[in-house]
Structure 1
Amino acid sequence: MKSAMHKTSTKVKKFFKKNKNQKAALTRTVASDAVADSGTALQAASINHPDTGPSLEVGPVTSPERGTMSSAPPALETGLQAASTRKSGIGSGAVVDTLESALGVLKEVSAAFPPLQAAVGGVIECIHIYKKVSGNTEALGVLAKDLIKRTAHMREQLNRDDMDASEEKIIQDLANKLDGINNSVKKQMQGSTSMKVVQKDQIADKIGTFKKEIENAYEECKMDLISAIKTDTGKILEAIALAKLDHSARASYDADVGEEYARRSCHKGTRVKIIDDIQKWASDPNSTSGYWICGMAGTGKSTIAMSTCENLDAQGTLAGSFFCSRQIPECKEYRLIIPTLAYQVASYSRRFAHALRGILGRYPDIASKKPDEQVQRLLIEPWQMLEKTTWLDATLPVVVLDALDECENVEVMLKPLIAAIQGNQLAKLKLLLTSRRKYAIEQLVQTNFSAGGNSKVKKFILHEVEEIEVQKDIHTYVEWELQNVASEEQMERLTMLSGKLFIYAATVVKFVKNDVSEMVTWQQERLANLLIEKKSEDLEELYTEVLKDAIPTKWKRKEQEQAWKILHTIISISKPLTCKAIAELLSLKGDIVEGLVARLHAVCYISNVNQAVYTFHLSFPEFITSTQSFGKSYNGPAHHLHLSQICFQKLEGLRFNICNLPSSFIPDAEVEGLDWKMKENIGETLEYCCQYWGNHVKMAKPKDILMPHLKKFLQEKGIYWIEAMNLMRLLPGCGETIEMILQEVNTLKVMEVKDLLLDLRNLLILFGSGEVSGMTPHLYLSIIPFWERKSRFSIQLNSVLRVEQKLVEGHGAQVALLHAIGEVASVMYSSDGTRIVSGSSDRTVRIWDATTGTQIGNPLHGHDNYVQSVAFSPDGTRIVS
């Protein structure tokens, strides 16, 4: 069937190509000649049949004089043919061949599509009938060709995605409508017992009506099919979402990520050659499976990726996209890339979605697995089912991954994905990658262990493009942005200074324009001052100029110190904060922070969405943290030490029942106005310190200075910290922070701090693993009272109810399994100590987070009795029970 469809498709294309020019010249001549001689033809028919009178009958007819006749009146047919021959010099054979060729192709197309074969056969009969009556092959030829396209398109659409019962009914309805139209035509044409002749314009009207009815039937069917497919795909995607396939909605190229993260495509008329090259690669089935664009910061990789996505999407070949970003949490998480691509490809292909839904049914916890298993289950297996169809014969889907270097530990995901591409496990799927020229990424992309080292990924180094080509594009961009500000000479100068870096030109534009409402004269002056100094064609020089303007040396020493402290904090904090929060951290007035950010408008901005401060491009923080020739040098460890001390100071604000919850009987989710209470009592600054104090401690040096602060915090505020994090729905972050700090203190050999951390971790496990974690006050009512007498935190909890205990002398992660349904019959740690698997009397197997005790995924069913033994495989990717 696949071969037959391919041959038919080829024949359709050849037919339309061959007859494209012939159609206008040939059918136009025949039609005009037939009209001119219609009177002669009709008169001849009337003379040959004096007793019949007007008729449209074309089937076998009995005449008093001639008996059984052929299907068409000889005089009428001969008259039309003769007229055509006399006037045009073209024999009727050419006209007939053109129409007959179209009908032949239509017959083949419908034959390759069984549900419509019989009905389309009836349409072909009607076309033959009208041809013999009127000889108007132009209108009938147009109809035949239109039907070829409609039937072929419908066949391709349904070949792409399996039909369900509702769609089969839609096709059957179309066949029924066509049968009704066909029967109506035959009834009209066979309505009398003798041949009658009518005026040609009446025949043309009937042909027009026939054509319109056929077109309407097809169009209605098409719309019904589109609606049915969208509805079905929507249900599948909903099922996939419900199956907890975590995906990042903001990673898609066209996602609304707000002005602060806005992804921009190339300016019109720029990067034309590289985009054309990518387009040729994407549409060439014989080209490499992968295409890697690498280049230094500011060369325009992401804008090229954006333009490519827009082009591919318009062509219907963009199957998925993931734009990494250090500034958007869900877009820098490598664990989300494969699930996101799987979800997007499912929305692109319903057949893939069907296969994926089945896989999620078999592996419901696949989203928590390692990337190698995710690639196998979520991409390779459903894709290979898609490969069995003929759809991929005519389509080359493309997936785009942008800015891989901005995704933390992306190599973990990239390794199995590239291996699948190199091993041809995702045949006919194209993969476009962009990143900086990072060694780890280059090693993965450029090595193919399965093919003797010949990579299936094409490498393109963006910053090695001929400078004259890049300069031309930059000049086009500058000309558009500064058309009312810069002279041609200044544009040439700026283009030259930019070299190959688009980011240089873009930064200058922001620096010069500042405010769109600003007077052009001021902008011109700022540009002139920037260009008048002789400096190298280097981005660092531009950033230096921006800093000189923002933090001038004429300021007082205290003002300069404050400005540099603000700037260093902006690039050091773990997530963007508002000017107010930055000011609170640094004990400064808010207007001082706002003023500096405004002066740094060329490199920083305040988001309209959350009012947080962001940098435009990653190259600016990198410039600040590197050795520089202007201003106060950045000492990362020392500044993180300072921020750690600030965090511990702010954490002193934690207290018992910080949000004044009225009752322990009300779940947190039902507490009226809880978000407002958190905003009032915790606030942005304390929330940040709760979340990220561990990050600053980890990067601070020397750490021993922080140990007294850390000890005091754990003893006096550790439990309140857990309370606040639970209210903010960030409890898992407590476990991550504790584990991170444990690794740090192990090297310092501060046993007292380590013991405090271990105690707090055990408390966290008991609280986090129980159902009471949904009601924060129960940390004090249901957990603390049963805590060990020797706990180092007991001195802080004198006002809380206590329960004497003598039997339980220690807590561990295994206590967290107490709320599992049924008796726990078996338990085992994973080799890396991060997970626990348990088997229970309720015939289920469960997986747990060893740090917090929270359950991972849903219980695994299948046993018909007690689960008496469980174990992890050595690599931790499989469980046996």
Structure 2
Amino acid sequence: MSRSGALGGILAIKDVLEKVSANADDINALTDYMEKLNSMVDMSMSDDYKSCPQALQTRIEDLRRDVDAISKDIINLRSQNRITHIFTTKATSGKIQEHLRALMWAIHKFIVGGTLEIEMAVDELHAAIQDGFGHMDIRFDGLGQQVQNLEKRIELGDDYVPIPRYARSARFDSNSNRIVCEETTRLETLATVYHWIKPGDSRLADLPTDLVQQPTERRVLWLDGPAGTGKSTIAQTTAEWCEAVGYLGASFFCARDSNECSNVQLVFPTIAYQLGLYSVDFRDRVADVLRADPDIQNTSASRQLQKLIAEPLRAVNSSGAFPACAVIIDALDECKDDQAMSVILKALAHYVGDLDPLKIFITSRPLQHITGGFGMTELKDNTQHLAMNNISPGIVTRDITQYLQKQLAAVAHCYDIRSSWPSDDEMAALVHQANRLFIFAATAVKFVQDLRYSDPEAQLKALLRSRLPTSTTSPYRFLDALYTEVLHTAFPEIDRALKARLKMVLGSIVLVRDRLSPLSLEVLLGLERDTVRKTLRQLHSLVIVPEDDNDTIRLIHPSFQDFLTDGLRCKDLNFGIHPKIQHSILAQHCLRTLQDLQRDICEIGDLSKLNDESACKHWAFHLGNAEISEDIHELLKVFVAEHLLHWLEALSLLGDIGVAIEGLPVVRRTLRGLPLPASNILSLLYDCERIARQFYPCLSVSCLQVYFGIIPFCPTNIGLRKQYEHEVVSMHSLCMRVN
């Protein structure tokens, strides 16, 4: 059966539907699907049908059978019309709609499934992945500690001082991989920032003149610049400078690859917590707020800033004086904020006048929702702006040259290179290619000194020979060439299986919602032990792989993620990551993992029974950004029918019921845009979201409320109650189990 058979059948059905259907939108939607189908088939299939991968041939046969079945139904309906002329009736119109959606779903399944198999070589990896799932560990990282903390809080009783929830890893000193500026670089920029933060500090005498005269009375300093210009390094250096003299009140270093460090709901509670460590009086005022309203930290960012920071500051200042200090928020653009204007900056605009004596230093890329926030009148009048692009090119070039000279001198000493290396011409070429991006210089040094090649001179020559991408006007053209050269050096020859494994591993690291360890990533993807390390072995100049299997993997810089996911920058299809395809892979693995959930999975305290935390927290995020394949749809159908309550129980144990409230609307929006077969998936997801919202307080306190305190009190006519009535546990039976 050639591909022309299936395509011809679809065209015949479309011709019939155009004659009998009054809904032009439906026909247009079908036409769009057919165009996508033709495009996908033309790009991926050879003229010789038998030479196509077996998995793709199987999908073509499945599509042909679906088309044949729909075609027979349409023909019967048309014959009926000739006899009875009832095509305009409501019942027949509904049948036409049903056939049309069935056809679009058949095409959608083929396109998504086929694309996944082509992109990820699923047919070759399938057996290995299935084997991996058979050996999957079931665990929840760090949940034991969370439960112990909860038990400790209960034991402390009335004397316990409530504190805001906070992001532990957002502190400036929580990550050993963060670096500071080289001793003789960035001096003018640092002097400008330091003078604004603490104008009377005696250490300023050793620094050069400021780049610009800063009005030090302004409450906020905003440092903006493109990716890779060294903003985070400047923020880290500033944090350490303040901390050295006890002047750092709080810090929040955002990171897109960390769920807690990219959560806008945690920014102000974390700052409030750290300011409480800086001032006992402030801590006590915040504790009073939390006693009166424990849920205040789950409200909007503006409300959090008002109640957890602005009002406690005012109270402390009225009875004494809050000590002056700096608050540093780095890489604000890496917070996951889909609003047209940054919610953090909108909140600051409302309350910036109430934050005396804090000095707030913010760094970010100049993205629209950030620049728009700083453009609000209230914030604009209280903000000093320092743009990296306005710093003299001569100063930046000097700093990058000094950095490279120092780093490469250390490399030459390590490898005992006795000649004058690098030459002046090589150094000049390298500085030129850096194009004012410090991340280029840092990555180039890692590439040149890589121990896996042990030939810095050859590595440098290869780097300088690397070809520029087509777009020579891009500010990242040299950085893109560097990333491409590193990938080609690591994988000079790449077969289909290696390409699939690399895309699966690297794509997951790039797009996963939270950082994972090598072991956790293997568990989630169902891969054999040490697959992640073997795959990333040659990429240590771009990916930080920890020695300990339980420590998390990190990219050297967010710009590498931008490069991999942008087809205009990463031209080599062996390495480019297709976000929707990768999210499909992750969503599918998450849903497979969640099939192991069951009621009272901890058996009142046995934490080893729990499944992977990442799957529970992030399946909705990945599905909301995925192409929905037939496999994902079937897994979702089972999950919704059998495990929704088990999932709520697990989220309660994790202390993160908010995941359901945030994630389920995203899933429903995604599914509503597809021609899915008729089912109760959407209605059950909606019911689950309503329950999570309405019963949020009790679910946050007790995981087993899901079974004995919620379902029995739901209206009898809602689908979720009917679906899960068999899961209801009486209070008597629960007490017997506990005893």
TM-score higher than 0.5 here?
yes
Cα distance change, pair 584–468 in 1 and its aligned pair in 2 (3 A): same
Q: Do 2:259 and 2:513's aligned partners in 1 also have CA atoms closer than 8 Å?
A: no
State the Cα deviation string for residues 287-335 of structure 1 (Å, max 9, x = none). Answer: 5332110001111111111212222233443333222222333322222
Cα distance change, pair 654–388 in 1 and its aligned pair in 2 (3 A): closer
State the partner residue of 1:401.
Answer: 329
Specify the code of the residue in structure 1 equivalent to 2:571.
Answer: S
Specify the code of the residue in structure 2 equivalent to 1:280.
Answer: H
State the partner residue of 1:755.
Answer: 683
Deviates more, 1:783-792 or 1:571-580: 783-792
Q: Are positions 1:280 and 2:195 aligned together?
A: yes
Q: Are positions 1:477 and 2:403 aligned together?
A: yes
State the Cα deviation string for residues 138-161 of structure 1 (Å, max 9, x = none). Answer: xxxxxxxxxxxxxxxxxxxxxxxx
* Separation in structure 2 between the aligned mates of residue 463 and residue 338 of structure 1, nearest angstrom: 29
Corresponding residue SS for 1:275: helix
State the Cα deviation string for residues 834-855 of structure 1 (Å, max 9, x = none). Answer: xxxxxxxxxxxxxxxxxxxxxx
Using the TM superposition, give the Cα deviation of residue 736 of structure 1 relative to its aligned residue in structure 2, in angstroms: 4.1
* Separation in structure 2 between the aligned mates of residue 405 and residue 649 of structure 1, nearest angstrom: 33
State the partner residue of 2:394.
Answer: 468
Specify the code of the residue in structure 1 equivalent to 2:680.
Answer: E
Q: Are positions 1:497 and 2:427 aligned together?
A: no
Unaligned ranges ≥5, structure 1: 1-237, 662-667, 804-881
- Among 524, 543, 555, which residue is 2:483 paired with? 543
State the partner residue of 1:621.
Answer: 561
* Separation in structure 2 between the aligned mates of residue 346 and residue 407 of structure 1, nearest angstrom: 23
State the partner residue of 2:163.
Answer: 244
Corresponding residue SS for 1:482: helix
* Separation in structure 2 between the aligned mates of residue 770 and residue 311 of structure 1, nearest angstrom: 45
Using the TM superposition, give the Cα deviation of residue 477 of structure 1 relative to its aligned residue in structure 2, in angstroms: 1.8
Cα distance change, pair 345–717 in 1 and its aligned pair in 2 (3 A): closer
* Separation in structure 1 between the aligned mates of residue 700 and residue 268 of structure 2, nearest angstrom: 34
State the Cα deviation string for residues 567-626 of structure 1 (Å, max 9, x = none). Answer: 223222222334445445555444443222111111112235624332121111111110
Q: Do 1:405 and 1:435's aligned partners in 2 also have CA atoms closer than 8 Å?
A: yes
Q: Do 1:716 and 1:793's aligned partners in 2 also have CA atoms closer than 8 Å?
A: no
Q: Do 2:501 and 2:535's aligned partners in 1 also have CA atoms closer than 8 Å?
A: no
Q: Are positions 1:560 and 2:499 aligned together?
A: yes
State the partner residue of 2:572.
Answer: 630
Corresponding residue SS for 1:483: helix
Using the TM superposition, give the Cα deviation of residue 775 of structure 1 relative to its aligned residue in structure 2, in angstroms: 6.6
Q: Are positions 1:445 and 2:374 aligned together?
A: yes
State the partner residue of 2:81.
Answer: none
Specify the code of the residue in structure 2 equivalent to 1:645.
Answer: Q
Q: Are positions 1:293 and 2:218 aligned together?
A: no
State the partner residue of 2:446.
Answer: 510
State the partner residue of 2:358.
Answer: 429
Cα distance change, pair 603–780 in 1 and its aligned pair in 2 (3 A): same
The structure that has the greater radius of gyration is 1
**Percent of aligned positions with the same letter in both sequences?**
28
Q: Do 1:294 and 1:462's aligned partners in 2 also have CA atoms closer than 8 Å?
A: yes
State the partner residue of 1:309.
Answer: 239
State the Cα deviation string for residues 776-823 of structure 1 (Å, max 9, x = none). Answer: 5x866787799969967878987x7999xxxxxxxxxxxxxxxxxxxx
Q: Are positions 1:675 and 2:607 aligned together?
A: yes
Cα distance change, pair 622–656 in 1 and its aligned pair in 2 (3 A): same
State the partner residue of 2:616.
Answer: 690
Using the TM superposition, give the Cα deviation of residue 503 of structure 1 relative to its aligned residue in structure 2, in angstroms: 0.5
Specify the code of the residue in structure 1 equivalent to 2:455.
Answer: W
Measured on the aligned residues, the alpha-carbon RMSD in Å equals 4.0
Corresponding residue SS for 1:246: coil
State the partner residue of 2:381.
Answer: 455
* Separation in structure 2 between the aligned mates of residue 653 and residue 566 of structure 1, nearest angstrom: 23
State the Cα deviation string for residues 612-658 of structure 1 (Å, max 9, x = none). Answer: 33212111111111012123343222332343333334444445665
Matches within 5 A, 1:4-23: none
* Separation in structure 1 between the aligned mates of residue 593 and residue 171 of structure 2, nearest angstrom: 37
* Separation in structure 2 between the aligned mates of residue 427 and residue 239 of structure 1, nearest angstrom: 32
Specify the code of the residue in structure 2 equivalent to 1:406.
Answer: E
Cα distance change, pair 690–279 in 1 and its aligned pair in 2 (3 A): closer
Q: Do 1:312 and 1:318's aligned partners in 2 also have CA atoms closer than 8 Å?
A: yes
Cα distance change, pair 470–725 in 1 and its aligned pair in 2 (3 A): same
Q: Do 1:463 and 1:500's aligned partners in 2 also have CA atoms closer than 8 Å?
A: no
* Separation in structure 2 between the aligned mates of residue 792 and residue 767 of structure 1, nearest angstrom: 14
Q: Do 1:326 and 1:407's aligned partners in 2 also have CA atoms closer than 8 Å?
A: yes
Could you state the TM-score of these two structures normalised by the residue count of structure 1? 0.54
Matches within 5 A, 1:63-462: 242-254=161-173, 256-257=174-175, 259=176, 262-284=177-199, 287-349=217-279, 352=282, 365-384=295-314, 397-409=325-337, 411-421=342-352, 424-449=353-378, 455-462=381-388
* Separation in structure 2 between the aligned mates of residue 756 and residue 326 of structure 1, nearest angstrom: 31
Specify the code of the residue in structure 2 equivalent to 1:345.
Answer: L
Q: Do 2:255 and 2:331's aligned partners in 1 also have CA atoms closer than 8 Å?
A: yes
Cα distance change, pair 350–267 in 1 and its aligned pair in 2 (3 A): same
* Separation in structure 2 between the aligned mates of residue 426 and residue 372 of structure 1, nearest angstrom: 13
Q: Do 2:433 and 2:478's aligned partners in 1 also have CA atoms closer than 8 Å?
A: yes
Corresponding residue SS for 2:537: helix
* Separation in structure 2 between the aligned mates of residue 530 and residue 334 of structure 1, nearest angstrom: 39
* Separation in structure 1 between the aligned mates of residue 358 and residue 718 of structure 2, nearest angstrom: 61
Cα distance change, pair 250–565 in 1 and its aligned pair in 2 (3 A): closer
Q: Are positions 1:527 and 2:527 aligned together?
A: no
Using the TM superposition, give the Cα deviation of residue 447 of structure 1 relative to its aligned residue in structure 2, in angstroms: 3.4
State the Cα deviation string for residues 228-283 of structure 1 (Å, max 9, x = none). Answer: xxxxxxxxxx99982333333433323x33x4xx3221111110111111122224
State the partner residue of 1:645.
Answer: 588
Corresponding residue SS for 2:409: coil
Q: Do 1:773 and 1:779's aligned partners in 2 also have CA atoms closer than 8 Å?
A: no
State the Cα deviation string for residues 58-117 of structure 1 (Å, max 9, x = none). Answer: xxxxxxxxxxxxxxxxxxxxxxxxxxxxxxxxxxxxxxxxxxxxxxxxxxxxxxxxxxxx
Specify the code of the residue in structure 1 equivalent to 2:305.
Answer: V
Q: Do 2:640 and 2:684's aligned partners in 1 also have CA atoms closer than 8 Å?
A: yes
Corresponding residue SS for 1:401: strand
Using the TM superposition, give the Cα deviation of residue 471 of structure 1 relative to its aligned residue in structure 2, in angstroms: 1.8
Specify the code of the residue in structure 2 equivalent to 1:242.
Answer: V
* Separation in structure 1 between the aligned mates of residue 359 and residue 700 of structure 2, nearest angstrom: 49
State the Cα deviation string for residues 683-718 of structure 1 (Å, max 9, x = none). Answer: x4xx43333222222112357874444223322444
Corresponding residue SS for 2:226: coil
* Separation in structure 2 between the aligned mates of residue 289 and residue 697 of structure 1, nearest angstrom: 41
Using the TM superposition, give the Cα deviation of residue 435 of structure 1 relative to its aligned residue in structure 2, in angstroms: 0.5
State the partner residue of 2:67.
Answer: none
* Separation in structure 2 between the aligned mates of residue 657 and residue 348 of structure 1, nearest angstrom: 41
Q: Do 1:240 and 1:357's aligned partners in 2 also have CA atoms closer than 8 Å?
A: no
Q: Are positions 1:573 and 2:512 aligned together?
A: yes
State the Cα deviation string for residues 641-685 of structure 1 (Å, max 9, x = none). Answer: 3433333344444456656x3xxxxxx2xx3xx23343xxx3x4x
State the partner residue of 2:537.
Answer: 598
State the partner residue of 1:713.
Answer: 639
Aligned residues: 533
Cα distance change, pair 544–341 in 1 and its aligned pair in 2 (3 A): same
